[in-house]
Structure formats: structure tokens, C-alpha cells
Structure 1
Amino acid sequence: MLLRIDGNEAYCYTGGKRFDASLPTVVFVHGAQNDHSVWALQTRYFAHHGYGVLAVDFPGHGRSAGPALTSIEAMSAWLQSLLDAVGVERAMLIGHSMGSLAALETAASAPQRVARLALVGTAYPMRVSEALLDAALHDEARAIDMVNIWSHSTMSPKPSCPAPGFNVIGASRRLMQQVSQRGPDHLFHTDFSVCNAYGNGEAAAAAVRCPTLLLLGSRDMMTPPRAAAGLGKAIAGARTCRIEGSGHALMAEQPDAVLEALYGFARED
């Protein structure tokens, strides 16, 4: 689905069904150097089981035009403009990595608009090493390789993950290459800088009032579970679920477990 947000064309994947604003809405928010496609399995299931789905491409990512956003606060404002554009007052937000910070900030700054909050592969502060920031700025191909090695729990996923012959690391690497080719210069560095600079996480966490789930990979080296402990304690009533055997790329490495956790959370009374 194509929309106009802040004067630019914006794309949202709707899970293979026409978006219906009368249904409970779930917004899926991607991480750095990614796009809507990282949520392929989860979005299709939600869309075919009673939900209106919006899997966003942030500006400068995937099919959305415009310069990349340069702060978590700007990403939060963009998400709120997205809800305005589709006529939705209140939605569940599911964010991965960088997207989890944007979802967190939105739940804090616009609590009336967020019904539930799921933070996947999250951490605060979300620090990025100087070596990775430098590679993202001066040698993006190397940065993509570094991130994909660190984001997966193994170089050789079991053949059934998620289908025989499927190369999980290769698919993630190719997606990042495509996002780089289509997006503005130094997009990876911009995204990492946004994560590194965000400083409102503690205050945002304390302000969240909606049901919240932290979904973490037990073998995540990019955002280790211990790095999310502060958020889990600061968000009132937050629950933490660990996906065993998964790294940072939870949605690709353990797609069924991620779907089960998210769908179960969405269906709770």
C-alpha cells in the first residue's frame, strides 16, 4: 500500500490482504538497513487472522521515498503520521532493534495511540561499536558482513529454518545490499547513528502504560538479553520472553516461535 506521509511516498506491506482500518491494527517496524520484508511470515499470518497489518518501510528504506530519518523521535513522529494517514487512532506496535526504540518512543509520547507494545531484539542504551560505525561509513559492504555474522546464532542454520535449502544469512545479507542500493548514501551509518544517539529510553520506558512484551534471542550478540534488562524493569508490567537458540535476526532464525509469541500476546485479554 502506498501513502503520502510528510510529502513523500511511503510504502506499507499489508500481509497479502487489503488493509481494513476497522480491524485491530498491528504496525510492524523494521530495524537498521532493513525493510518490511523481515516480517514476511508474521505479517501474513496476522493479516489472515483478523488484523489490519501495516509493515512499514521507513523513509529511505525499501520502497519509501525521502531522506532517512535521523533520530528516534523523528521515527516516532513518522509512525504517528502513518496512523493519521490510514485513519487509525490506536494500534499495536511491534518493533525490531532500531524499530523497537521507535515503537518505545511512540508508546511514551503518544500513549493514547498504542494499545500494545512488543520490543523484539531490543536494548537500551543501544550502543554501536566504533569499529562498526566506521565500517558503515567507509566500507558498507564490510559492515553488512559484520552485522550478519553477529546477528545469527550459527553460520549453518538447520535445513528446516525456515525451509529446506533456505540460506538465512545469505537472505539477510542480500536484503541489506538491496536496501543500500536503493537508499540514500551512508544509510547504514545513519541508522546506526540514530540507535547510538538515542538518549530518552529510560524516561520513555517509565512512561509506557500499555501491555508490553520484550522478545529476545538467547544468543543475540547485537543486543544481548542482559542489555534489555533495564527496559524490562522500567516498563510497568512488562514481560520478557526469550527465544532459545536465536540471535538478533529472530524473525528469520526462529520465525514460528516469534509468531507464536507475538500472536499470543496480541490475543491476550
Structure 2
Amino acid sequence: MTAPRWIETGEGPRALVFLHGVSGGAAGAAGLLPAITPAGWRGLAWDMPGYGRSASLPQVDFDSLADALAALLDAAGLARAVLVGHSMGGMLALQVAARHPDRVAGLVLACCTPAFGAQAAALQRDFLARRIGPLDEGASMRDLAIEVIPSMVGPAAEPLVVHEAVDLMAEIPPASYRAAVQALLHFDQRATLGRLRTPTLVLAGRHDTVSRPLVLQRMAERIPGARFAELDAGHLAPFEAPEDFAREVHGFLEGFDHAPVTFLL
């Protein structure tokens, strides 16, 4: 498998990988990545397959995406890394922890859910209608972004955050976006939560109407030893409240000072 493309900052024997959401990309993490990467760490942010500069996969599902992340770790020379996943990226981080547990040193799960596919059929139809319906009716990705992005942020979000998120989503190939949204419908890692033995931080946005804080709190309660925190933000919490997000991630990573990530030979 050809490894996905990534951007990188920092250097050291420990590494974290930022996994973006369905409306994101590595370019959106260019400013965030240096902020969340502590001194002595490598910080990577990928373009999910089909996004940015990464090649598409023949079939898009969470298993194939998890295997693509493992291929990225191989290409970067990393045996293990802390996965910092936002939205769909957080769901993928759970999938990687279940499918490739030896590659995961820690988890930061932000604004995500453990089981999108468990939702009622009516809710799934509504989600598809809002996220794919406009494309079926001839809208562009920019048109769709202008419609959905403002509904994701909290009341204190800076206009620039919305503007940049719209620009980022507008650049996603429609076919890649459709495939990612369809993959979401089949995601369910609830059974994994109680078996996780990986240090885990769960972060919610207080004003998030996509992945509600109570869902994330309950997810954290099911993960042994997980820590839960709530940020004053909406669904785009890492970008709406980057300083608070970085502070939480740094505090979590302090526990890894004596547990370095080893490198592949």
C-alpha cells in the first residue's frame, strides 16, 4: 500500500499523529500541529486517503483507512504513535486501536462518537440528506461547506475559523467526501472501549451539536482510566479553541516522558 502524504513538525523519539475529520485535511492542521507538539516530539498530520495529496483507496471503509494509517507509520519510521483524532479522525483512531493496537501509544479522542453506525435509520437518512443531498442536487463542495460549516461552531468562534474551514472543505474532491461520509454509516467500535488499555484523553466541545458532550463523557467512562475534559467550543474545537486544546494535549502527553515511542529499524 502506498503511504498517505503527511506534513510534519518537530523532532524526537516520541510522535503524535493528528487525524482530521471528514471536512478537513492536513493543510487545516498546519497551524495547530506545532502548537500541540511538545518539544522533543515529532508531530505529523495526514491527508486521509482521497484527501489533499493522498491517493484514493479502491474501497473506503474504516479497516482500509486504519491500514493506511499503519502504512503511514511505517513510511515515517514509527513503530507507535499517539493518535490525536478529531471527529471522523477520532473514530478512526479507535479503529486503529482495535485493528493495530501495537501501533498506538495513546489516544486523544476529540468531538467524536464510538458508534455512528448504531444510529437509527431515520437519523442516518437525515445525515445523508444534509451532507450529500446538496451535492446530488448540483451544489459544489464550496456551496455545501458554506451551508454546513457555520452550524458546526460554537457562539464564540472567530469568523476566520469558519472562513478557513469553508476553504478547506471546498477543496475536497466530491467523490472522496461522499466515500468518507458513506463509511461513517458503518462505524461501530463500542465493544472496543472497555478493552482499551491505552492512555486516553477524551475532549468535547461544550457547544457541539454534532458530537454532543454527554456522548463523549459516557464514552470516556467506558474506557479504563480515560480522562474527560470539555472545551468552550463547538464541533471544530481544536480550531475554535486551539490554546485550550493544545494545553489539554500537552498535559496528557506529560505522562509519556518515560514511555518513549520506539522506531522501526
Q: What TM bracket, shorter-length normalisation?
A: 0.7 to 0.9
Q: Residue deviations 1:204-251, cap 9 Å, x none?
A: 21221111000110000111112223421221111111002x000012
Q: 1:50: Cα distance to partner?
A: 1.4
Q: Residue deviations 1:98-146, cap 9 Å, x none?
A: 1101111112222222111000111132356423413433423454234
How many pairs were matched up? 245
For residues 59 and 108 of structure 2, the distance between their equivalents in structure 1, rounded to whole angstroms, comes to 22
| Alignment pair present for 1:108 and 2:101 | no
**Equivalent in 207, 211, 234 of residue 222 of structure 2:** 234
Q: Residue deviations 1:182-212, cap 9 Å, x none?
A: x2x433332222222112x112212211110
Aligned in 2, Cα 1:193/1:135: closer, same or farther, shift over 3 Å?
same
| Alignment pair present for 1:148 and 2:142 | no
Tell me which amino acid in the other structure corresponds to 1:136. Answer: R
Aligned in 2, Cα 1:101/1:177: closer, same or farther, shift over 3 Å?
same
Instruction: Please name the residue that 1:59 is paired with.
Output: 49
Tell me which amino acid in the other structure corresponds to 2:32. Answer: Q
Q: Which runs of 4+ in 1 moved over 6 A?
A: none
**Equivalent in 178, 184, 188 of residue 195 of structure 1:** 184
Q: Is the 8 A contact 2:153 2:240 kept in 1?
A: yes
**Equivalent in 40, 46, 49 of residue 30 of structure 2:** 40
1:14-53 equivalence runs, <5 A: 14-15=8-9, 17=10, 20=11, 23-47=13-37, 49-53=39-43
**Equivalent in 124, 128, 132 of residue 133 of structure 1:** 128
1:154-173 equivalence runs, <5 A: 154=155, 157=157, 161=158, 167-173=160-166
**Equivalent in 196, 210, 229 of residue 222 of structure 1:** 210
SS at match of 1:92: strand
Instruction: Please name the residue that 2:88 is paired with.
Output: 98
| Alignment pair present for 1:87 and 2:77 | yes
For residues 208 and 57 of structure 1, the distance between their equivalents in structure 2, rounded to whole angstroms, comes to 26
Aligned in 2, Cα 1:230/1:68: closer, same or farther, shift over 3 Å?
farther
Q: Is the 8 A contact 1:219 1:248 kept in 2?
A: yes
In the alignment, structure 1 segments of 5+ residues that lack a partner are: 1-5
Q: 1:36: Cα distance to partner?
A: 1.2
For residues 19 and 99 of structure 2, the distance between their equivalents in structure 1, rounded to whole angstroms, comes to 17
For residues 108 and 183 of structure 2, the distance between their equivalents in structure 1, rounded to whole angstroms, comes to 20
Aligned in 2, Cα 1:102/1:60: closer, same or farther, shift over 3 Å?
same
SS at match of 1:61: coil
For residues 179 and 218 of structure 2, the distance between their equivalents in structure 1, rounded to whole angstroms, comes to 25
Instruction: Please name the residue that 1:3 is paired with.
Output: none
Instruction: Please name the residue that 1:12 is paired with.
Output: 6
Q: Is the 8 A contact 1:111 1:209 kept in 2?
A: no
Q: 1:258: Cα distance to partner?
A: 0.4
For residues 72 and 147 of structure 1, the distance between their equivalents in structure 2, rounded to whole angstroms, comes to 23
Q: Residue deviations 1:146-194, cap 9 Å, x none?
A: 431221012x63xxx5xxxx62111111110012xxx2x4333322222
SS at match of 1:248: coil
SS at match of 2:30: helix
| Alignment pair present for 1:176 and 2:169 | yes
Query: Which region of structure 1 is more displaced relative to structure 2, 47-56 or 88-97?
Result: 47-56
For residues 147 and 65 of structure 2, the distance between their equivalents in structure 1, rounded to whole angstroms, comes to 25
Tell me which amino acid in the other structure corresponds to 1:13. Answer: I
Aligned in 2, Cα 1:203/1:74: closer, same or farther, shift over 3 Å?
same
Aligned in 2, Cα 1:171/1:46: closer, same or farther, shift over 3 Å?
closer
For residues 108 and 58 of structure 2, the distance between their equivalents in structure 1, rounded to whole angstroms, comes to 23
For residues 122 and 93 of structure 1, the distance between their equivalents in structure 2, rounded to whole angstroms, comes to 13
In the alignment, structure 2 segments of 5+ residues that lack a partner are: 136-140, 257-265
Work out the percentage of aligned pairs sharing the same amino acid.
Answer: 26
